[in-house]
Amino acid sequence: MKELNINLSNLDEVFPENFTEEQIAKAKTLFLKRMAEKAHKFYGGKIQVVPKAGVFGFNWFNIWYTPGVSKVSTTIRDNNDTSFELSNRGNLVAVVSDSTRVLGDGDVTPPGGLGVMEGKAFLMKYLGGVDAVALCIDSKNEKGENDPEKIIEFVKMLQPSFGAINLEDISQPNCYKVLDTLKEECKIPVWHDDAQGTACVTLAGLVNALKLANKNIGDVRIVFMGAGASNTTIARIIITAGGDPNKIVLFDSKGSLHKGRDDIKADPRFYRKRELCETTNPNRISDIAEACKGADVLIALSKPGPDTVKPEWIRAMADKSIVFTCANPIPEIYPYAAKEAGAFIVATGRGDFPNQVNNSLGFPGILKGALMVRARKVTDNMAIAAAYSLANYAEKRGINPNNIVPTMDEAGVFAVEAADVAMQAIKEGVARIEMSWDEAFQQAKKDIEYSRSLTNSLMENDYIKTPPHEMLREAINWAIKQV
């Protein structure tokens, strides 16, 4: 068996030669989970706080703290907007979650979300040059129910310390009320990454997949499996971008969405689903296998697989079908199986398969763009601008059925995305300050390069230590034994 290198680039090659594709896929998932647990324990998490100002002698303590800092406090008191310049607020995001809908694991208790929220903070810093803090909160009220009002009040109280809020892993229907209320009532942008972020990157992938399939967004039939925060927002964003709601069918755990779904109409908390009931699936198709017959696109964000999406559904789809199966941690059907069933393009939410359609491509650049112009909110059109920014960036460097969107290691994409989002914020009148596209691009590029150089310098100087190879070997051997 080959030795796994430290950058994990040869991961597919280290499993036994007699492993099938399904066994390799299972083993990779098990390895990544095992390695994640070991690596997080090795480092004690993945985020730390370090100064960005220097100490050049004893009296610098008196500048960074008392008595000198009093002038900073009174300046901000007299003009609160100066807090964006005199503190880190202008480049600081709170990642807020009650951990009730984490990946495919559901409610993991408030502390259980820290691994994901620290991950968001890690990616924001390295990919977007943005500082972020993970804040996992207990949203339960005295009845033991997760209360959206508690999240709303918490975020409102946070506003003076942050430039933007990233909501994450809040279960539906609470997520709808939390986002829509805070978007309107907060003075800083509040963004729900599971909804708007996933929708942005999914649209980017769909735009380029349709180009390769030579199909138009307004002509294609789209089936959505799952009608949670992600897929309902994806549907809304696709419709805003030109998709035909009459050619769209969504399915939740109880069946398809349509005007006859009285159970959804009866619960005012599900108003986003109710809107889609009114506008999509006019023929009231009730069976997902029937809906997939002749469909051009299947977008699944539902129950982790690999047997959630059936191969026969894909075989019944139109020529050059597009299949996005993005449940985490295991897609609803493995890409190789979807391809065997006839899919032309397959995407998942995972980086170890081709075509990772994951919000990690969106939020670092989108939030950087919003912060640079001190946007008051992140609009749907800003998310759409980011989607086309990602799609255009990929198209310029070349796309094919196994490469429809940029990847996280294409550093240049995030500065371009940030600049495009900043321009859209200015265009819509939600920016507090204005700048040119080039000014935004250069600022984002500089901050991203700084963040990457800082991390690389810490690694080179052994302040961030390299995990021992024994850790990788143990995780690989454990995964192989489990399969």
Residue from 2, 26, 33, 65 carrying the catalytic annotation: 65
Residue 309 within a domain: yes
Separation CA 264–CA 261 (nearest Å): 6
Separation CA 294–CA 436 (nearest Å): 46
Whether residues 127 and 208 fall in one domain: no
Q: Which residues are CB-neighbours of 414 under 8 A, at least 6 positions away?
A: 127, 128, 364, 365, 368, 444, 448
Tell me the one-letter amino acid at 157: M
Residue 388 within a domain: no
315, 332, 347 — which closes off a domain? Answer: 347
Whether residues 261 and 329 fall in one domain: yes
* Contact between residue 399 and residue 211 where contact means Cβ atoms under 8 Å apart: yes
Separation CA 95–CA 89 (nearest Å): 14
Q: And the tokens for 151?
A: 């999240």
CA Rg value for the chain:
23
Before 110, cis peptide (omega within 30)? no
Strand partners, 348: 356
Pairing of strands 222-225, 255-256: unpaired
Whether residues 40 and 97 fall in one domain: no
Write out the residue range of the structural domain in which residue 113 sits: 60-188
309, 330, 347 — which closes off a domain? Answer: 347
DSSP states of 342-391 as a string? T-SEEEBS-TTSSSB--GGGTHHHHHHHHHHTT-S---HHHHHHHHHHHH
Whether residues 343 and 200 fall in one domain: yes
What's the distance, CA 463 to chain centroid?
29
What's the distance, CA 233 to chain centroid?
13
Q: And the tokens for 398?
A: 């070349």
Separation CA 13–CA 106 (nearest Å): 32
Whether residues 98 and 217 fall in one domain: no
323, 347, 371 — which closes off a domain? Answer: 347
Residue 324 within a domain: yes
Residue from 26, 28, 46, 120 carrying the catalytic annotation: 120
* Contact between residue 136 and residue 115 where contact means Cβ atoms under 8 Å apart: no
User: For position 75, which CATH number holds?
Assistant: 3.40.50.10380
Whether residues 76 and 126 fall in one domain: yes
Residue 234 within a domain: yes
Whether residues 326 and 254 fall in one domain: yes
Please tell me the total count of domains within the chain: 3
Residue 386 within a domain: no
Tell me the one-letter amino acid at 468: P
Q: Give 371: exposed, middle or buried? Use CB within 10 Å, 0-12, 13-18, 19+.
A: buried
Residue 143 annotated to the active site: no
Phi, psi of 328 (to 5 degrees): -115, 145
Separation CA 406–CA 230 (nearest Å): 20
Residue 52 within a domain: no
Whether residues 335 and 201 fall in one domain: yes
Whether residues 101 and 158 fall in one domain: yes
* C-alpha triplet 3, 9, 14: angle, nearest 5°: 35
User: For position 320, which CATH number holds?
Assistant: 3.40.50.720
Residue 429 within a domain: no
Q: What's the Cα-to-Cα distance from 481 to each of 19, 37, 469, 475, 476, rounded to whole Å?
A: 12, 18, 18, 10, 9
403: number of Cβ within 10 Å: 15
* Contact between residue 305 and residue 332 where contact means Cβ atoms under 8 Å apart: yes
Which pTM was predicted?
0.94
What is the Cβ-side half-sphere exposure of residue 346, based on CA atoms within 13 angstroms? Answer: 21
DSSP for residue 106: B
Whether residues 75 and 18 fall in one domain: no
Q: Each residue's pLDDT tens digit in the chain (483 positions)?
A: 678 999 999 998 999 999 998 899 899 999 999 999 999 999 999 999 999 999 999 999 999 999 999 999 999 999 999 999 999 999 999 999 999 999 878 899 999 999 999 999 999 999 999 999 999 999 999 999 999 999 999 999 999 999 999 999 999 889 999 999 999 999 999 999 888 999 999 999 999 999 999 999 999 999 999 999 899 999 999 999 999 999 999 999 999 999 999 999 999 889 899 999 999 999 999 999 999 999 999 999 998 889 999 999 999 999 999 999 999 889 999 999 999 999 999 999 998 899 999 899 999 999 999 999 999 999 999 999 999 999 999 999 999 999 999 999 998 999 999 999 999 999 999 999 999 999 999 999 999 999 999 999 999 999 999 999 999 999 999 999 999
Residue 400 within a domain: no
Residue 65 annotated to the active site: yes
Q: Give 244: exposed, middle or buried? Use CB within 10 Å, 0-12, 13-18, 19+.
A: middle
Whether residues 338 and 283 fall in one domain: yes
Whether residues 154 and 283 fall in one domain: no
